[in-house]
Chains A and B, each alone.
Chain A
Amino acid sequence: MTITVNFRLNGEAVEVSCVPDKMLVDLIRDNLELTGTKIGCREGECGACTVIMNGEAVNSCLIPVAKVMGKEIQTIEGVVDKDKLHPIQEAFIDKGAVQCGFCIPGVIMSAKALLDKNKTPDKDELREAISGNICRCTGYVKIEDAINQASSVMSETIVKGGGDER
């Protein structure tokens, strides 16, 4: 048996057919060959597979593909704007928040889900937003610094009416 799912992925309409009991993370990585989203545990305990679905951060390893029908999915590959890095991505590099890199796509998606809704989170909101993402390398401090930098860049941009004014 196959299932056909229609949804929007990184801004584009997509249609994929696959076995009905496939998880979203495998659809993204295997069928659509977008390997930026990682698998760390397959139990929803590490957040490496985090993507954004209809504006909310979710663990794609626990989502059966059928649930994706008609939804908007964003993966790490959809964060960059053509050749321009997103302020979150710039900040992660600037602040030294990246080491081995395996947790990073998931962390960035959790951060983006937060900042897209709330450009100026307080410390508790920031920490809550990434508390479902495990990093074994950095100790989280620089990740927090990076999200704070992204927050000030993103809120600055709004106030100044858009455009790159860093």
Chain B
Amino acid sequence: MTKFVGKSMKKLDGVDKVTGAGTFTSDMVAPGMLFGKILRSPHPHAKVLKVDTHEAEKLLGVKAIIYRGNVPSNTYNSMAAMVMAVPFVKPILDQQIFSEKVRFVGDEVAAVAAISEKIAEAACKLIKVDYEVLPAVFDIKGAMAPDAPEIHDPELTPVGKNILAEFSMPNDAVDKAFEDADVIIEEEFNINIVKHFQLETQAALAVVAPNGKVTVHSTTQSPHSAKAILAKVFHIPASKIRVANPPYVGGAFGVRAGLSAKAEIMAMALSMAVKKPVRVVYSREEDTIASDTRHGAVLHVKLGARMDGKFVALDLKGYTNTGAYASYAAEVQGVLGGMMGTEYKIPAVRYYGHAVYTNCTHAGAMRGFGAPQANFATERVVDMMAEKLGIDAKELREKNIIKAGESWPLPYPCSSSELGECIKRAAESIGWERRGNLNSDSSHIKRGLGMAIGTYVSNAGPTSLTMTMPMWRYNLMVP
């Protein structure tokens, strides 16, 4: 009956990709194209006192050098957050092309366009930078301490030392609910920073025409927001900028949901300076240290339940390490708080979180965007609760999962859920009934079975969180 639906269709880009004919950003060349390389800070925190490019300029083959003194200094946010923040939230603009301070090892200080990558790299080594090294801090707790170094202008962190965003879902009923709980599990988890390692590193090719029109091909996941951001960074009308993918992008997983770190900016700024196409391709090392990571976090979670297994309260404090710059700091906090416990029907839920600056590489969007951190914390204490109560972990979940029609922390009721069926089928497929009977005492290899459930948002931006409900309010404080 249907021609295509329900049939296996061959991927349209399959032939391009299996023959190597598909074009990615680093495959693109333009007539007269130059190569851009970036000079990066070796210090995690320092004032940039002076950038001396004289020696580097003399190197044969060098065509342009940019640094703080000759590029715009508009503040921006490199991610789509800048141009897509929901109405009551103002985007956090804390980046500049080159800042007066460097705030992580790898922070950009200058860039060179030359006739080859080799020459551009050699020129970078000849740029002399005077730094005033400052104390640095890499962990969340240390960064919030009263004597911690101030990483950004205190205007950006009104909530507290290095705290750039606070997200809370307050709920006074939670404390009382814990008093009525028969069993409480309270734990603190440390979540590591994770990196995308998408196979294609950050890259951009920018061409500025004599009439000022800019064409950028890059690895961005979002050409439209990239265009809008670049317009603000360079203070030129967005109508003069075109951003496109080459057509193919070698993976992303969130690392370029906006700009590709500083690849587009550097390529564009160099192209403007030299009036020729410039291609910037990050090395794997640059991509690793100087593009967004997943947020590391400290999660303090408390779950209360009755003896029969019914959850009565869930309280999560989530501190995210957003590194040197904001990127999606506020949004990740929002998703973290929003996703905690939404799989379960819990009468009293509370969230309180801070996004904290440190001198680590800036964190941003990565597959899950706060939900992995939240789901991990919740699911761990659910398992611990199951063990404490002596109730099977699957049964405990089934007892508490949200059902259609019920209310939850989000500002609209749950309209549908097949989670129960998912749990049932998943458990069947792995032989859940074998749990606890998988091992003989004599074997030194032990086997285990477990399960976890997770949830995530799905939406087109600008997104939800625009309503308020009587019981829960959403407070997102940003500068």
| A interface residues with partner B (beta carbon < 8 Å) | 29, 34-43, 46, 48, 75-77, 79-80, 85, 88-89, 92-94, 96, 98-105, 108, 134-137
Which secondary structure characterizes the binding site on chain B? loop
| B interface residues with partner A (beta carbon < 8 Å) | 10-11, 13-24, 26-27, 196-201, 248-253, 283-284
CB distance from A84 to the nearest CB of B (A): 11
CB <8 Å contact, B284 and A40 = yes
Sample of 10 more A-B contacts, CB < 8 Å, known A36-B19, A105-B20, A136-B253: A38-B200, A76-B20, A79-B19, A80-B19, A92-B18, A101-B250, A102-B200, A102-B250, A136-B198, A136-B251
Question: For residue B26, which residues in chain A have a CB less than 8 angstroms away from its CB?
Answer: 35, 38-39
CB distance from A136 to the nearest CB of B (A): 5
Closest to B248 in A: A101
In Å, the complex CA distance between A85 and B16 comes to 11
CB distance from B239 to the nearest CB of A (A): 31
CB <8 Å contact, B199 and A48 = yes
CB <8 Å contact, B200 and A40 = yes
Question: For residue B248, which residues in chain A have a CB less than 8 angstroms away from its CB?
Answer: 100-102
In Å, the complex CA distance between A123 and B13 comes to 28
Are A103 and B199 also in contact (CB < 8 A) when A42-B283, A75-B20, A108-B18 are?
Answer: yes
CB <8 Å contact, A41 and B15 = no
Closest to B252 in A: A100
In Å, the complex CA distance between A34 and B20 comes to 9
Question: For residue A42, which residues in chain B have a CB less than 8 angstroms away from its CB?
Answer: 283-284
Are A43 and B284 also in contact (CB < 8 A) when A136-B196, A136-B253 are?
Answer: yes
CB <8 Å contact, B11 and A96 = yes
Are A136 and B11 also in contact (CB < 8 A) when A39-B26, A77-B19, A101-B17 are?
Answer: no
Question: For residue A80, which residues in chain B have a CB less than 8 angstroms away from its CB?
Answer: 19
Contacting residue for A92 out of B14, B21, B200, B250, CB 8 A: B14
CB distance from B81 to the nearest CB of A (A): 24
Question: For residue B251, which residues in chain A have a CB less than 8 angstroms away from its CB?
Answer: 99-100, 102, 136-137
Are A102 and B18 also in contact (CB < 8 A) when A42-B284, A136-B253 are?
Answer: no
Contacting residue for B284 out of A41, A92, A135, CB 8 A: A41
Question: For residue A75, which residues in chain B have a CB less than 8 angstroms away from its CB?
Answer: 20
CB <8 Å contact, B27 and A35 = yes
Question: For residue A48, which residues in chain B have a CB less than 8 angstroms away from its CB?
Answer: 199
9 interchain residue pairs of minimum CB distance = A36-B20, A102-B250, A101-B17, A76-B20, A93-B14, A35-B27, A102-B199, A89-B18, A100-B251
CB <8 Å contact, A102 and B20 = no
In Å, the complex CA distance between A148 and B68 comes to 55
CB distance from B35 to the nearest CB of A (A): 11
Are A134 and B199 also in contact (CB < 8 A) when A93-B10, A98-B11, A101-B248 are?
Answer: yes
CB <8 Å contact, A36 and B250 = no
Question: For residue B252, which residues in chain A have a CB less than 8 angstroms away from its CB?
Answer: 100
In Å, the complex CA distance between A136 and B197 comes to 7
CB <8 Å contact, A35 and B20 = yes
CB distance from A149 to the nearest CB of B (A): 13
Question: For residue A36, which residues in chain B have a CB less than 8 angstroms away from its CB?
Answer: 19-21
Closest to B251 in A: A100
CB <8 Å contact, A136 and B199 = yes
CB <8 Å contact, B284 and A104 = no
Question: For residue A79, which residues in chain B have a CB less than 8 angstroms away from its CB?
Answer: 19
Closest to B284 in A: A41
CB distance from B294 to the nearest CB of A (A): 14
In Å, the complex CA distance between A92 and B18 comes to 7
7 contacts between A and B (CB under 8 A): A34-B20, A38-B199, A75-B20, A100-B198, A101-B17, A101-B24, A102-B250
Closest to B23 in A: A35
CB distance from B279 to the nearest CB of A (A): 12
